[in-house]
Chains A and B, each alone.
Chain A
């Protein structure tokens, strides 16, 4: 970024303004759309755009955790998002996204792994979430988290039953597919810090390049803080952190409601006049 562009962004911020026209504590509008298949969701935050796809397959559980299923998240950024990302090579920023999403969703137990067990020690479901980045304009962490959790909520895995020693995976026509057991909905909110004590929420690309520190809080509707990361050597008072948590909770509530609202709309559309699932059960 050129020095005059840096100076321009910084001087706008000092005037409590942003290039995008947003207020300092105003996040971008979130757009969420589900695709034709289960577990496909496209998320747009301003010009940041990504797609998450959740899929499942039967696998063998880990030896040390025979009662648990497997859950994998991949977040590979290709040069489609921006030429700044090299194909097949991970930069520090990308690693940060991967780690944070891992912490926010997997390690906060958002997905109940024990419910994915089919036969203890022998078979279980492996659920994977693949995130594809289409356009970059900052805020990959916040957007990825929303996309993965929305895709998990949207996904339906095939039902299984056990017949003696055999495990039967039923096709979608035989039995209605079952939703995953999602225990809570963690939402990430990121702040960026600039010189002269300026704090900005949901920074775009130019602001991210210019910032001297950042903080990401993952929180759910029930006020559980799932993850907290602060990078850069910016001293913050406890009062400021509490305020940020309060703000994050507000946003988490807003986004969780939006996800549920969209899910409801999507399933109403899917099930309109579709009695196929009931028929399958009547036959038995």
Chain B
């Protein structure tokens, strides 16, 4: 359900059973920026991540910083100087214990990319994020809560989709890993993540395409 007061919005539902984590994101912009936040050559990007329980803490700051880093690489901020792009990510269901952040991080990134595309903010491309864990030596994509608790490390990996001349390439933009793992394991994680990102990219593309088709229904 789109948010009618926002210029763009998206909802991201993910998880082990396909629906434990629920995140909603709104984008407003380009709107008028306060003079103190104004940048003469580019748009100000404001990002707020809000938890489902309690007030934002250092945990949300971490989510915010990681998400901001990914979005900064795709939003063409110089196209809209002296304006404000306001992004709010609201977690509606975390779907993971407070000690973990992978699902929320992946959801924050994917939902804000979808919402930015929905709002018509110029983007240089799409970013897709996926979430993995190493459980008893095995790499698990979209781990369940039990698996997360047993895991030795968790990984949130984001790729920028780069439509090259011949093939679609995936460039790594973020890898947030927590826990103990070897260099080899990390390389394996990245390999699995890239394949997962290809699937995720297809899913996100069809979501955007469907939403565009709906918005052009007036014709």
Contacts and interface: CB of A to CB of B under 8 A. Distances in A.
A80 B54 contact: no
A158 to B, nearest CB: 15
Interface stretch (A81-89, A190-198, A236-244, A268-276): A81-89
A18 interface: no
A83 B55 contact: no
Nearest to A78: B88
B83 interface: no
Contacts of A55: 53-54
Given A130-B52, A130-B54, A35 B93 contact: yes
Interface stretch (B24-32, B153-161, B191-199, B203-211): B24-32
Contacts of B26: 79-80, 134
Nearest to A42: B92
B93 A36 contact: yes
A72 B52 CA distance: 14
A87 B54 CA distance: 16
A128 B26 CA distance: 25
B31 A132 contact: no
A74 B93 contact: no
A83 B28 contact: yes
Contact of A132 (B5, B19, B28, B50): B50
Nearest to A86: B34
B99 to A, nearest CB: 15
B48 interface: yes
Looking at chain B's contact residues, the main secondary structure is strand
Interface string B24-64: 10101001000000000000001010101111000000000
Nearest to A74: B55
A87 B90 contact: no
Contacts of A35: 22, 92-93
Contacts of B52: 53, 130, 132
B215 to A, nearest CB: 18
Nearest to B94: A37
A135 B28 CA distance: 13
Given A132-B90, A134-B24, A76 B53 contact: no
Given A83-B5, A136-B5, 8 more contacts: A53-B92, A78-B48, A78-B50, A80-B26, A80-B88, A81-B5, A83-B86, A132-B52
Interface of B: 3-6, 19-20, 22, 24, 26, 28, 31, 46, 48, 50, 52-55, 86, 88, 90, 92-93
29 contacts: A36-B93, A47-B4, A49-B3, A74-B54, A76-B50, A76-B55, A78-B90, A79-B26, A79-B28, A79-B48, A79-B88, A80-B3, A80-B6, A80-B88, A80-B90, A81-B5, A82-B5, A83-B28, A87-B48, A88-B48, A128-B53, A128-B54, A130-B53, A130-B54, A132-B50, A132-B52, A132-B92, A135-B3, A135-B4
